[in-house]
Amino acid sequence: LAESTESFEITVLKFLSTKEDRRNGLKRFLELKLNSLSQPEDKIRRDALVLWLLEVQLAEFAELRRTGKQAFGEESSSTTEATPAEQQIKNMRQQIELFLARSNVLATVESSHYTTVVNVHLLQSEYERVLEVIQKQHLLELYYKHSPLLIEKIPTELIAAWIEEGKALVSDRLLPALYRCQDVSNTKMVTAALKYLNFVINENLASRAMHNFMISLCAEFKPEELLEYFEKYGYSKNSVPYDVDFALRVCIEKPGIFLY
Protein backbone atom coordinates (compact mmCIF):
# COMPACT_ATOMS: atom_id res chain seq x y z
CA LEU A 1 0.00 0.00 0.00
CA ALA A 2 2.77 2.45 0.91
CA GLU A 3 4.45 1.60 -2.41
CA SER A 4 1.36 2.37 -4.47
CA THR A 5 1.95 4.16 -7.76
CA GLU A 6 -0.79 6.64 -6.91
CA SER A 7 0.26 9.90 -5.30
CA PHE A 8 0.26 10.27 -1.53
CA GLU A 9 -2.47 12.92 -1.68
CA ILE A 10 -4.79 10.79 -3.83
CA THR A 11 -4.39 7.78 -1.53
CA VAL A 12 -5.13 9.87 1.57
CA LEU A 13 -8.23 11.36 -0.07
CA LYS A 14 -9.52 7.87 -0.76
CA PHE A 15 -9.27 7.03 2.92
CA LEU A 16 -10.94 10.28 3.91
CA SER A 17 -13.83 9.64 1.53
CA THR A 18 -14.42 6.08 2.75
CA LYS A 19 -17.05 5.91 5.47
CA GLU A 20 -16.18 2.53 6.99
CA ASP A 21 -12.94 2.10 8.93
CA ARG A 22 -11.45 5.21 7.33
CA ARG A 23 -9.48 6.07 10.45
CA ASN A 24 -7.95 2.60 10.74
CA GLY A 25 -7.10 2.60 7.06
CA LEU A 26 -5.52 6.02 7.28
CA LYS A 27 -3.50 5.02 10.33
CA ARG A 28 -2.23 1.91 8.61
CA PHE A 29 -1.29 3.83 5.48
CA LEU A 30 0.54 6.51 7.45
CA GLU A 31 2.42 3.88 9.45
CA LEU A 32 3.57 2.12 6.28
CA LYS A 33 4.56 5.40 4.71
CA LEU A 34 6.46 6.38 7.85
CA ASN A 35 8.39 3.11 7.83
CA SER A 36 9.43 3.74 4.23
CA LEU A 37 11.02 7.12 5.02
CA SER A 38 14.36 6.08 6.41
CA GLN A 39 16.79 8.44 4.68
CA PRO A 40 18.15 11.60 6.37
CA GLU A 41 16.69 13.77 3.62
CA ASP A 42 13.23 12.43 4.51
CA LYS A 43 13.27 14.04 7.97
CA ILE A 44 10.79 16.84 7.24
CA ARG A 45 8.26 14.48 5.66
CA ARG A 46 8.84 11.93 8.41
CA ASP A 47 8.25 14.49 11.15
CA ALA A 48 5.03 15.64 9.48
CA LEU A 49 3.78 12.06 9.24
CA VAL A 50 4.65 11.39 12.88
CA LEU A 51 2.63 14.36 14.08
CA TRP A 52 -0.26 13.55 11.76
CA LEU A 53 -0.37 9.94 12.88
CA LEU A 54 -0.19 10.97 16.52
CA GLU A 55 -3.00 13.47 15.96
CA VAL A 56 -5.19 10.74 14.45
CA GLN A 57 -4.46 8.44 17.38
CA LEU A 58 -5.11 11.12 19.99
CA ALA A 59 -8.39 12.06 18.33
CA GLU A 60 -9.44 8.43 18.38
CA PHE A 61 -8.41 8.11 22.03
CA ALA A 62 -10.41 11.21 22.98
CA GLU A 63 -13.45 9.87 21.14
CA LEU A 64 -13.12 6.51 22.87
CA ARG A 65 -12.95 8.20 26.25
CA ARG A 66 -16.12 10.16 25.56
CA THR A 67 -18.05 7.16 24.30
CA GLY A 68 -16.53 5.00 27.02
CA LYS A 69 -17.88 7.27 29.74
CA GLN A 70 -21.34 7.06 28.19
CA ALA A 71 -21.14 3.30 27.94
CA PHE A 72 -19.89 3.02 31.51
CA GLY A 73 -22.91 4.94 32.72
CA GLU A 74 -25.18 2.42 31.03
CA GLU A 75 -23.39 -0.61 32.51
CA SER A 76 -24.35 -2.13 35.82
CA SER A 77 -22.30 -0.69 38.68
CA SER A 78 -22.09 -4.10 40.33
CA THR A 79 -19.77 -5.66 37.76
CA THR A 80 -16.02 -5.57 38.40
CA GLU A 81 -15.01 -6.72 34.92
CA ALA A 82 -13.83 -4.22 32.35
CA THR A 83 -16.50 -3.26 29.85
CA PRO A 84 -15.75 -3.57 26.11
CA ALA A 85 -15.44 0.22 25.94
CA GLU A 86 -12.96 0.30 28.83
CA GLN A 87 -10.90 -2.45 27.23
CA GLN A 88 -10.89 -0.58 23.94
CA ILE A 89 -9.62 2.56 25.69
CA LYS A 90 -6.88 0.53 27.38
CA ASN A 91 -5.83 -0.97 24.06
CA MET A 92 -5.78 2.43 22.39
CA ARG A 93 -3.63 3.87 25.18
CA GLN A 94 -1.17 1.00 24.76
CA GLN A 95 -1.02 1.62 21.00
CA ILE A 96 -0.16 5.28 21.58
CA GLU A 97 2.49 4.38 24.17
CA LEU A 98 4.09 1.91 21.78
CA PHE A 99 4.01 4.46 18.99
CA LEU A 100 5.67 7.08 21.19
CA ALA A 101 8.33 4.57 22.22
CA ARG A 102 9.76 4.53 18.69
CA SER A 103 12.93 6.62 18.60
CA ASN A 104 12.09 8.71 15.54
CA VAL A 105 8.62 9.42 16.92
CA LEU A 106 9.96 10.47 20.31
CA ALA A 107 12.43 12.91 18.78
CA THR A 108 9.74 14.53 16.65
CA VAL A 109 7.21 14.86 19.47
CA GLU A 110 9.83 16.31 21.81
CA SER A 111 10.68 18.99 19.25
CA SER A 112 7.05 20.13 19.17
CA HIS A 113 6.16 18.90 22.63
CA TYR A 114 4.16 21.77 24.02
CA THR A 115 1.91 22.29 21.02
CA THR A 116 1.09 18.58 21.09
CA VAL A 117 0.37 18.65 24.83
CA VAL A 118 -1.90 21.67 24.41
CA ASN A 119 -3.82 19.91 21.63
CA VAL A 120 -4.26 16.83 23.81
CA HIS A 121 -5.69 18.92 26.66
CA LEU A 122 -8.00 20.75 24.27
CA LEU A 123 -9.35 17.42 23.04
CA GLN A 124 -10.21 16.61 26.64
CA SER A 125 -11.68 20.09 27.31
CA GLU A 126 -9.03 20.55 30.02
CA TYR A 127 -8.81 24.32 29.68
CA GLU A 128 -6.97 24.98 32.94
CA ARG A 129 -4.24 22.57 31.87
CA VAL A 130 -4.03 24.21 28.45
CA LEU A 131 -3.41 27.56 30.13
CA GLU A 132 -0.93 26.02 32.57
CA VAL A 133 1.24 24.71 29.72
CA ILE A 134 1.08 27.97 27.77
CA GLN A 135 1.78 30.06 30.86
CA LYS A 136 4.69 28.03 32.22
CA GLN A 137 6.46 27.93 28.87
CA HIS A 138 5.55 31.51 27.85
CA LEU A 139 4.17 30.31 24.52
CA LEU A 140 3.06 33.67 23.18
CA GLU A 141 1.76 32.45 19.82
CA LEU A 142 -0.42 29.90 21.61
CA TYR A 143 -1.86 32.70 23.75
CA TYR A 144 -2.94 34.49 20.59
CA LYS A 145 -4.27 31.30 19.02
CA HIS A 146 -6.26 29.87 21.92
CA SER A 147 -7.31 32.94 23.95
CA PRO A 148 -10.63 33.41 22.08
CA LEU A 149 -11.69 30.00 23.38
CA LEU A 150 -10.03 30.20 26.80
CA ILE A 151 -11.56 33.57 27.64
CA GLU A 152 -15.01 32.00 27.36
CA LYS A 153 -14.07 29.06 29.57
CA ILE A 154 -11.67 30.49 32.18
CA PRO A 155 -11.70 34.30 31.80
CA THR A 156 -10.34 35.20 35.24
CA GLU A 157 -7.41 32.80 35.03
CA LEU A 158 -6.59 33.81 31.46
CA ILE A 159 -6.52 37.54 32.21
CA ALA A 160 -4.25 36.90 35.20
CA ALA A 161 -1.87 35.06 32.87
CA TRP A 162 -1.95 37.90 30.33
CA ILE A 163 -1.12 40.44 33.01
CA GLU A 164 1.72 38.28 34.27
CA GLU A 165 3.21 38.18 30.77
CA GLY A 166 3.08 41.99 30.66
CA LYS A 167 4.94 43.60 27.78
CA ALA A 168 5.81 40.24 26.24
CA LEU A 169 2.31 40.03 24.77
CA VAL A 170 1.22 42.34 21.96
CA SER A 171 -2.05 43.55 23.41
CA ASP A 172 -3.68 44.28 20.04
CA ARG A 173 -3.34 40.61 19.11
CA LEU A 174 -5.54 39.79 22.10
CA LEU A 175 -8.40 41.98 20.87
CA PRO A 176 -10.20 39.09 19.09
CA ALA A 177 -10.51 37.43 22.50
CA LEU A 178 -11.51 40.65 24.27
CA TYR A 179 -14.21 41.36 21.70
CA ARG A 180 -15.99 38.24 22.96
CA CYS A 181 -16.46 39.87 26.37
CA GLN A 182 -19.50 41.95 25.47
CA ASP A 183 -22.27 39.63 26.63
CA VAL A 184 -24.33 41.42 29.27
CA SER A 185 -25.23 38.08 30.86
CA ASN A 186 -21.59 37.09 31.42
CA THR A 187 -20.31 39.56 34.00
CA LYS A 188 -17.28 37.38 34.72
CA MET A 189 -15.96 37.86 31.20
CA VAL A 190 -16.73 41.59 31.22
CA THR A 191 -14.98 42.07 34.57
CA ALA A 192 -11.94 40.15 33.34
CA ALA A 193 -11.74 42.18 30.13
CA LEU A 194 -11.97 45.50 31.98
CA LYS A 195 -9.22 44.38 34.34
CA TYR A 196 -6.86 43.75 31.44
CA LEU A 197 -7.82 46.96 29.66
CA ASN A 198 -7.10 48.97 32.80
CA PHE A 199 -3.77 47.19 33.13
CA VAL A 200 -2.53 47.96 29.61
CA ILE A 201 -3.79 51.54 29.82
CA ASN A 202 -2.10 52.19 33.17
CA GLU A 203 1.12 50.62 31.91
CA ASN A 204 1.03 52.71 28.71
CA LEU A 205 0.79 49.56 26.61
CA ALA A 206 -2.59 50.33 25.05
CA SER A 207 -3.09 51.26 21.41
CA ARG A 208 -5.87 53.52 20.15
CA ALA A 209 -7.91 50.40 19.39
CA MET A 210 -7.54 49.28 23.01
CA HIS A 211 -8.64 52.69 24.30
CA ASN A 212 -11.63 52.69 21.97
CA PHE A 213 -12.69 49.27 23.17
CA MET A 214 -12.30 50.41 26.78
CA ILE A 215 -14.69 53.29 26.08
CA SER A 216 -17.16 50.99 24.35
CA LEU A 217 -17.12 48.45 27.17
CA CYS A 218 -17.37 51.05 29.92
CA ALA A 219 -20.23 52.83 28.17
CA GLU A 220 -22.15 49.56 28.21
CA PHE A 221 -21.22 48.17 31.61
CA LYS A 222 -19.46 50.87 33.69
CA PRO A 223 -20.71 54.29 32.49
CA GLU A 224 -19.95 55.85 35.87
CA GLU A 225 -16.21 55.33 35.25
CA LEU A 226 -16.08 57.11 31.90
CA LEU A 227 -16.01 60.68 33.20
CA GLU A 228 -12.90 59.98 35.26
CA TYR A 229 -11.33 58.26 32.26
CA PHE A 230 -11.95 61.23 29.95
CA GLU A 231 -10.81 63.79 32.53
CA LYS A 232 -7.56 61.90 32.97
CA TYR A 233 -6.48 62.68 29.40
CA GLY A 234 -7.31 66.39 29.41
CA TYR A 235 -9.20 68.57 26.96
CA SER A 236 -7.09 68.58 23.81
CA LYS A 237 -8.69 66.58 21.02
CA ASN A 238 -5.34 66.18 19.30
CA SER A 239 -3.54 64.66 22.29
CA VAL A 240 -6.04 62.13 23.65
CA PRO A 241 -5.19 58.45 23.01
CA TYR A 242 -8.64 57.51 21.74
CA ASP A 243 -10.75 58.35 18.70
CA VAL A 244 -12.90 61.29 19.77
CA ASP A 245 -15.46 60.80 16.99
CA PHE A 246 -15.83 57.17 18.02
CA ALA A 247 -16.21 58.16 21.67
CA LEU A 248 -18.90 60.70 20.79
CA ARG A 249 -20.89 58.06 18.97
CA VAL A 250 -20.63 55.65 21.88
CA CYS A 251 -21.27 58.00 24.77
CA ILE A 252 -24.73 59.45 25.17
CA GLU A 253 -24.60 60.15 28.90
CA LYS A 254 -22.67 62.77 30.93
CA PRO A 255 -19.18 61.72 29.74
CA GLY A 256 -20.30 62.35 26.18
CA ILE A 257 -21.17 65.96 27.03
CA PHE A 258 -17.70 66.41 28.55
CA LEU A 259 -16.16 65.56 25.18
CA TYR A 260 -17.73 68.59 23.57
CA angle 91, 93, 98 (to 5 degrees): 95
98 within some domain = yes
82 within some domain = yes
101 within some domain = yes
The listed range with the strongest mean pLDDT (21-35, 111-125, 195-209) is 195-209
**pLDDT surpassing 60 at residue 193:** yes
- Per-residue pLDDT at 215: 92
User: Which range is least confidently modeled, 78-92, 140-154, 172-186, 210-224?
Assistant: 78-92
73 within some domain = yes
**pLDDT surpassing 70 at residue 4:** no
136 within some domain = no
DSSP for 156-210, written as a single string: HHHHHHHHHHGGGS-GGGGHHHHTT---TT-HHHHHHHHHHHHHHHHTT---HHH
35 within some domain = yes
Cα-Cα-Cα-Cα dihedral sign, residues 201, 148, 131, 143: negative
pTM exceeds 0.85: no
Determine which helix (DSSP H) or strand (DSSP E) holds 227, and give its type and residue range.
Answer: helix 226-232
Higher pLDDT, 19 or 82: 82
pLDDT in tens, 138-171: 999 999 999 999 999 999 999 999 999 999 999 9
- Per-residue pLDDT at 20: 44
What is the DSSP-derived secondary structure letter of residue 32? H
Q: Spell out the SS3 assignment of 50-68.
A: HHHHHHHHHHHHHHHHHHH
192 within some domain = no
pLDDT in tens, 218-227: 988 888 888 8
Higher pLDDT, 78 or 80: 80
227 within some domain = no
CA angle 97, 100, 102 (to 5 degrees): 120
Averaged confidence pLDDT in the chain: 75
CB 229 within 8 Å of CB 214: yes
**Which range of residues forms the domain containing residue 92?**
1-111
What is the band of 235 on the pLDDT scale with cuts at 50, 70, 90?
low
Task: Work out how many domains the chain is built from and give that number.
Answer: 1
Dist. CA 135–CA 159, nearest whole Å = 11
What is the band of 258 on the pLDDT scale with cuts at 50, 70, 90?
low
